[in-house]
Structure 1
């Protein structure tokens, strides 16, 4: 089939395009900006657009259908031509749902931990030679792509609550009709589409209410908001919480049936993720003892508490995708629990739409209780690009409840502060969904 991707540069969009190309489909695509790793991946697959931009000649009647990415605006010129020519247009979650309607579907949702839980399930199933398709939001060691569609009978899907496309305001996870649903927790995010916490909660209510009655639902028990939604809308859901564990010699060790399994990942939030991943795998036929035996070599998904290196012998540097208040809290707690006697310097970039909304920044007020020093960076250029109100470093400082905070609006100043710090007996935790204004983090180790 001939398939055209409008906004092919997205993380899932480009991965889906590569997967479909590998199946023998004729793939074309367009985007007004394509960055690495998507650019390199598309080039290697032979489907990188010759030039960036939107071109009407891309849209012709011999296309079987179009897959539309969230990045494409409603007045996108290619989209307007496609609608006039009445070419079938799918959002990517709609296309995934169409191609998995006869599969056994495991869908991982929630405000945090989706990628980690999904990747844990994928890793354990692969280690035990259980075949499956998948869609996951980050690169995972041992998997060549973030999307794989084939004739396997099981599909593991990371499902998020964001809109499917500018044409389709359906939350992505509403398409998937799960046989197994995981809800990891609810913490307000995406305020550009869910302006109130109530509106954000409602989308999860709808998800749970519309999940097929015969499906299995697992939910995080220590989230009171989620628990209330579950109690109101589901009779048979199963709760999960923190499993038995200990910390010894710089490692988190999970204890199952009196057997100890030392882990390469760490943090209470990751242990909760592991617990529900083990429950899902048990439903898929992989017993818990085999799951934990397999997971001891799991190193985590990309940018999820990834160890970058040591600046000194008594320093560790970690990079994490944490960008919402609850994720920042969980990630900082994890590093502090592993190294309670080291100073923890937490460096957060405000990059997402929610985090750069000035009224939302106060949600971070108490997210740094496990941090000894807090650096916060934002870019005025990014504020302008997202059409958000400008603010100053002092405005951010006044919203954070911590007595040792420095706020930067210049990446060069941030790098100088990091380079000139004393890293003896101190850890650095970098948290961002962006790239700190293009900083080359490798230079920290020179």
Structure 2
């Protein structure tokens, strides 16, 4: 059956449903189904063949597949959703072939790496299934032949054939991603679009709780790609220069940790280093100079990250359980709060103040096991997250605006290709278990 994609969607849906019913009614008897091979063509888009393996990949990896298997989504609706996704895949692949888009050697390496990863995971899955389904007294030898035999019995084709089908699918997906890159190569958001992107996210995040903001902030400073655009409650951030040492009283009695290495500092060496830092701070340093000292002397791994170092630890009265008490004490003193919350009362610490040449307070906190210098990074008032052009918020917003603009450009062109596509469906080659749930049970 050949369908031009100019057909109205409602008519197309009815046509799909009718074909599904025909298949479910007559395709369940294997004696009535011709042998089209182990991986027949399921549909063709502008002459580009999409195989049953390709369809199955989309069918079983859709985000709603879990809900389908638990009866939480309509099987017919799910089938039509996947079918539309597969057709769009075919349209994009057809356009990529028309434009003669080719993979580079680097692209091929990426495909091979992904192929190996997925094949390994599939092999492990079948190995585990065999082991779980076997009794201790009659467990099969889980060698590669045993696993591959189980795979063939389940899928109807060998593991080597699976690898070939998957390699083709992954290459095609990579080609489509290169099509996207080619179509959107000249897209570049301007300042107005970036600001609009920021304002949209500010509006959306303004409804979030503070705990959601904390999660997003931690993802942001750890360079996971998230951006906190809205601050739900007043808070602030701090940087620390940490000298964490063995609790032993001297270098000679320091004990190695579980890995067999001595701590970066002992009491003696930390004291010597702290004296050096005190001398530098007493002469006078700027905030930026102090940040350089953190990189030079500190042994806080978090403060070694570029973004974390520029933004610091988030401090709020709901986060006391997240940090060591000496850091919190130093943070509140650095923020200018002399009367500490009751939760932070600690007689086993001592403090000393320094001031940077640009007016920031540095607080030295000495406690058992550590000497640390804490300085306020920034104060965050409830409302939109402050940003300046070129900082992390701006740059990640540029990336977000670029992605949005690129999607619009690609989608606009894609809809033209989609409306002009000629699609041939080979429904008689589909396995009946894809669509039989959509047909009412006969009484």
Shared fold per TM-score greater than 0.5: no
Q: Which has the higher contact order (CA 8 A, sep 6+)?
A: 2
Query: TM-score, normalising length from structure 2?
Result: 0.23
- Report the structure, 1 or 2, having the larger strand content: 1
Instruction: Name the structure where helix makes up a greater proportion of residues.
Output: 2
